[in-house]
Each structure stands twice: as C-alpha cells, then as structure tokens.
C-alpha cells in the first residue's frame, strides 16, 4: 500500500507535466493547421497593367507563396448582354491583369501593410486589395485563440513543475531517515540512491504511457473529432511510437534530474 | 593491532564552544568487553558517536580499527562502518522495510548475495526469538522487539566491533539476558570487541570487562 502511494505521488505530477507538454504540442499543431486553413482561404487581389512573373514578384515581395492570374472571361461574360461584341473586344484589350496572391502564412496588420507597400512599389501594379477588414478580424481572432491556448498550456506546465517540487520536498522528508541509517552502516552512494532512481524510472515509464494512451485515444473518439470539425479544425494525430518515446525521454530526463537534486541535497545534510 | 580504539586527549561536542567531552583518553584492545557508564546527559552517547564517525573530535587524536577518525575521508568512513555493528538507543530501523530486510542491511552493504543475506538474517532473528515476525514492519513491533531487531542487525555481518548504546534500555529481564548472551557470545566465539554504553552494568554478567565511568565530561577508568 505504502509502495503504491509512493508511486502514485510521483506519477501524478509527472503525468500532469507530460500532459501539459503534449497538450502544448497538440495545441501548436492544431493552431498551425488552423493557420494553414485560414491562409488557404485568404488571398490578396492585385491589378496590374502588365503581365506579372511569379518569380519576379516572389523576389520583390517576401512572404508570397503563389501568384495566380484571374481570368477576365467571367467579367466579360456578364457584360455580354449589355455590350456589343465589338465593344466587348475593345474592353477585353483594355482590361488590366488581375491576380490572386496567396501568402506563406497569415500576416499581422504590420506585415500586411509592408506587403501592400512592396506591391505598390512595382510600377505596373495599380491596385492592391487586401480585404483588410476581414483579414484583421480573422487575424485577431486567430491570435487570441493562440495566446489563450499557450497561456492555458503554460499554466498547466507551471502547476505541474510546482507539484514536482512539492513532491521533491516530501521525498526529502521521506527518504532522509532511510538514507541516514544506510550511511551509518557504510552504504555506498549508489546503494542509498538506487531506490529513488528506480522509483523515478518506473514512474516515468508509467506516466508517459498513460499520457500517450490518453492522447492516442481521445482523437479517435467521434464526438471529439466532430467537435473539432465543427470549429473548422483538423484533428492532430498522435504518433504512438515517436510521440511516446519523446514523452518517455522528457519524463526520464526530468525525473532523473529531480532525483539527483534530492539525493545531492540529502547528501549535503 | 594493539588497540582497536585509541583515543588521546580528545574533545568532542556539538559546536566548537560546547564541548561535551574534554580531553578524554581511552585505549581498548581487540576482543575486550567494555562498559561506559555515567549519568544521563554525561556524554556517553557522544563518545560512541565519535567512535563510528558521526562526530569528529575538535582536538586530540582518535584511532578506530587503525583509522584516524579526525582526518578520515567519506569513502574510508563508509568502509570502516562496514566493520562495525552499531546498536542505537532509538533503534534506527528503516520503517518502510520489513524486519528481515532491516537485518539484511549490513550484509547487503557488505556485498553478500540476497540469498546469503536472507539466510543469515533468519539465523539472527531466530537467536533473538523474532523469526516469526521476519516479514513484519518495525512499526508493528513493540519497543523491546525493535531493540532486538536492532541487535540482530548489528550482529548480522559478524562485525569486528559492536558499539551499543543502551542495548537493553527498553527490554524486560528475559530479553535483556538474551541480548547480553548474544554480546558475550560474539566476543567469546567470534572475537568481537564490544563497547556498551549503559546506565548500569548487569550484576550477573559473569565475564571480565573493562569499565569506564563518565562524569562532567571526564572519563575515568574504574579498576
């Protein structure tokens, strides 16, 4: 019973720590996915008197992913009823070139201003439409979600580190007597500390397994998937081997660091 | 080695300004049975602590089993302690460990295998009539039983010297006799040196012993 209590008291803070780390990773992935979706839906329209080369534009304006010509056929089709074919032909010749510009990532307001300025510095471009109002609204919402999620993950991380340090103090009290008795009988350093290292390693393994199972199972639940889809967010897939190994590595390093800290404190007493 | 303990004008205490024992001389030969008596608070336990290196003398020289305690390194102190059997007044058993594991402690530290250690622990527990409680935990035992476990632990690895602080302080007459018999046996059959700190020497001991009496921080040899 006591042994189980010993394990649980280590597993819980380690679990919370790993959960917060994996949660941060997942949020980062979800936010990046959401950003990609937003950027796919967002484009700038530019009007140019001369045809534009994508490579030239990419060199002059940083952050441009693609430059796609917008066909003037649709505009001309709509005017077919009202204009004669002769006038239509004249209009076709005099119409400027329209382009849709996709960006690498969702720019901030300042970045958008810079991009607009760069476009306008090209002589042939007469008009740049960034749909700034829509963009700003979306960008602010996106930024708000991002900040909120990182704050939440950061808060959990702080709580878990505090829990681990609290546990460390309990360890100090719990093992001080045992280690001092062993010292009086001439036990070498490794023998005195092996118990804590074992505890740290076993509990690291258990806690990383538990967190992995949780993050592997939850994205497989239909209600969770439907909820994320309703928000227009793609589900982050947990890579069971890679991500479990990462979590195990983090938890082993962290618990061994804490155990070493506890043991060196006990040795100095 | 002529003397297993050789103290020359040692002063010991818990702070430089608070010496408990002042300029004490003590010479104990191998296989001797030694009593250190004195009133409560006279510093008997302090002397014992210096013998197993928990306290280092402020001044003078102290040699235990040929090792200078004042200038001993941590690793050498660990080695020295593996040759000693210590019985503490407050038992100092590891509460999270079973009785048999507590007795196995000095054997495991000495590098014996688990099987050998367990066998020896059971043998000692049988000697102190506690074999039936081998798998119990110290908190489940009475004070007297814990004292007997502490004695079994001190004897488990056949130490060169036993340092016992009030080993029968909490025991009834029967258990006390058992402990004295074990200590006499260790001295007579294994050649162990025995140093016992106690309030009084049992009158029916029936062996030759050396007696030191401690008063006001000064140690007198009683002839």
Span A158-183, pLDDT tens digits? 887 788 777 777 777 778 888 889 99
Q: What is the CATH number of the domain that holds B147?
A: 3.40.50.300
A23 — pLDDT class (breaks 50, 70, 90): confident
Residue A28, pLDDT above cutoff 80: no
Name chain A contacts of B109, Cβ cutoff 8 Å.
182, 185-188, 191
> Which residue from A38, A2, A100 is spatially nearest to A231, judged by alpha carbons?
A38
Which tokens go with B57? 């003398």
Name chain A contacts of B81, Cβ cutoff 8 Å.
184-186
Please tell me the predicted confidence (pLDDT) of residue A1.
60
- CB half-sphere exposure, A164, CA atoms < 13 A: 24
Choose the closest CB to A185 out of B95, B96, B106: B106
Please tell me the predicted confidence (pLDDT) of residue A128.
86
> Which residue from A12, A29, A47, A34 is spatially nearest to A233, judged by alpha carbons?
A34
Residue A97, pLDDT above cutoff 60: yes
Instruction: Work out whether strand B5-13 and strand B19-28 pair parallel, antiparallel, or are unpaired.
Output: antiparallel
Residue B223, pLDDT above cutoff 80: no
- Residue B105 and residue A177: Cβ atoms within 8 Å? no
- Residue A191 and residue B79: Cβ atoms within 8 Å? no
Which tokens go with B76? 């050498």
CB proximity B109 to A under 8 Å: yes
B172 — pLDDT class (breaks 50, 70, 90): confident
Q: Calculate how close chain A gets to B84, using CA atoms only, in Å.
A: 8
Name chain A contacts of B82, Cβ cutoff 8 Å.
185-186
Q: Calculate how close chain A gets to B206, using CA atoms only, in Å.
A: 31
Q: Dihedral (C-alpha) A70, A75, A80, A85: value to the nearest 10 degrees?
A: -60
Residue B143, pLDDT above cutoff 80: yes
Residue in the block written with tokens 């996709």: A102
Condensed to tens digits (0 to 9), the pLDDT of residues A218-255 reads 888 888 888 878 877 777 778 888 999 999 999 999 88
Q: What 3-state class would DSSP assign to B48?
A: helix
Question: In which domain, by residue range, is B22 found?
Answer: 5-222
CB proximity B54 to A under 8 Å: yes
Residue in the block written with tokens 């200590």: B183
The answer to whether A164 and A13 have CB atoms below 8 angstroms apart is yes
Predicted complex ipTM? 0.90
Which tokens go with B150? 């502490």
Residue A146, pLDDT above cutoff 60: yes
Q: Which residue has the higher pLDDT, B45 or B16?
A: B45
Q: Calculate how close chain A gets to B82, using CA atoms only, in Å.
A: 5
Please tell me the predicted confidence (pLDDT) of residue A268.
64
Q: Calculate how close chain A gets to B25, using CA atoms only, in Å.
A: 24
Choose the closest CB to B79 out of A177, A186, A191: A186
Choose the closest CB to B52 out of A178, A184, A191: A184
Q: Which residue has the higher pLDDT, B54 or A156?
A: B54
Residue A141, pLDDT above cutoff 90: no
Please tell me the predicted confidence (pLDDT) of residue A246.
92
- CB half-sphere exposure, B95, CA atoms < 13 A: 8
Average pLDDT value for residue range A102-113: 83
The percentage of residues in chain B with a pLDDT greater than 70, rounded to a whole number, is: 98
Q: Pick the most confident of A5-9, B108-112, B171-175.
A: B108-112
State the total domains in chain B: 1
What is the model's pTM? 0.69
Using a CB–CB cut-off of 8 Å, the residues of A that contact B are 2, 177-178, 181-188, 191
Choose the closest CB to B109 out of A2, A177, A191: A191
- Residue A186 and residue B86: Cβ atoms within 8 Å? no
Give the span between the Cα atoms of A249 and A144, in whole angstroms: 32
The answer to whether B64 and B80 have CB atoms below 8 angstroms apart is yes
């Amino acid at each position: 019973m006591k042994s189980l209590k010993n394990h649980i008291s280590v597993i819980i803070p380690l679990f919370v720590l790993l959960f917060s780390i994996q949660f941060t990773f997942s949020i980062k992935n979800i936010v990046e996915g959401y950003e990609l979706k937003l950027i796919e839906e967002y484009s700038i329209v530019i009007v140019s008197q001369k045809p534009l080369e994508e490579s030239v534009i990419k060199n002059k304006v940083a952050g441009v992913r693609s430059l796609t010509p917008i066909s003037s056929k649709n505009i001309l089709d709509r005017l077919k009823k009202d204009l004669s074919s002769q006038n239509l032909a004249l209009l076709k010749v005099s119409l400027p070139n329209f382009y849709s510009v996709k960006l690498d990532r969702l720019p901030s307001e300042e970045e958008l201003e810079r991009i607009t300025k760069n476009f306008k510095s090209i002589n042939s471009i007469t008009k740049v439409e960034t749909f700034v109002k829509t963009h700003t609204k979306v960008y602010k919402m996106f930024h708000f979600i991002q900040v909120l999620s990182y704050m939440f993950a950061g808060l959990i991380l702080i709580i878990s580190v505090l829990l681990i340090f609290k546990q460390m103090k309990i360890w100090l009290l719990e093992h001080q007597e045992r280690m001092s008795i062993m010292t009086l009988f001439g036990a070498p350093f490794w023998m005195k500390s092996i118990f804590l290292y074992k505890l740290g390693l076993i509990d690291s393994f258990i806690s990383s397994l538990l967190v992995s199972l949780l993050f592997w199972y939850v994205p497989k639940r239909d209600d969770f998937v439907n909820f994320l889809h309703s928000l227009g967010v793609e589900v982050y897939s947990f890579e069971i081997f890679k991500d479990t190994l990462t979590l195990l590595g983090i938890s082993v390093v962290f618990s061994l660091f804490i155990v070493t800290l506890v043991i060196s404190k006990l040795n100095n007493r | 080695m002529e003397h297993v303990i050789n103290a020359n004008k040692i002063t010991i205490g818990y702070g430089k300004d608070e010496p408990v024992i002042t300029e004490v001389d003590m010479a104990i030969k191998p296989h001797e049975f030694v009593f250190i008596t004195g009133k409560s608070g006279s510093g008997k336990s302090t002397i014992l602590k210096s013998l197993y290196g928990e306290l280092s003398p402020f001044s003078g020289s102290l040699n235990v089993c040929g090792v200078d305690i004042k200038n001993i390194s941590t690793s050498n102190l660990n080695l020295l302690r593996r040759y000693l059997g210590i019985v503490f007044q407050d038992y100092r058993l590891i509460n999270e460990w079973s009785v048999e594991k507590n007795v196995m402690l000095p054997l495991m530290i000495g590098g014996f295998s688990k099987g050998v250690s367990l066998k020896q622990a059971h043998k000692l527990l049988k000697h102190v009539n506690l074999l039936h409680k081998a798998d119990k935990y110290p908190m489940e035992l009475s004070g007297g039983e814990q004292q007997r476990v502490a004695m079994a632990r001190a004897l488990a690895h056949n130490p060169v010297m036993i340092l016992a602080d009030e080993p029968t302080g909490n025991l009834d007459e029967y258990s006390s006799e058992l402990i004295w018999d074990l200590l006499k046996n260790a001295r007579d059959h294994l050649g162990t040196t025995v140093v016992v700190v106690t309030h009084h020497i049992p009158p029916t001991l029936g062996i030759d012993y050396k007696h030191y009496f401690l008063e006001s921080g000064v140690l007198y040899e009683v002839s």
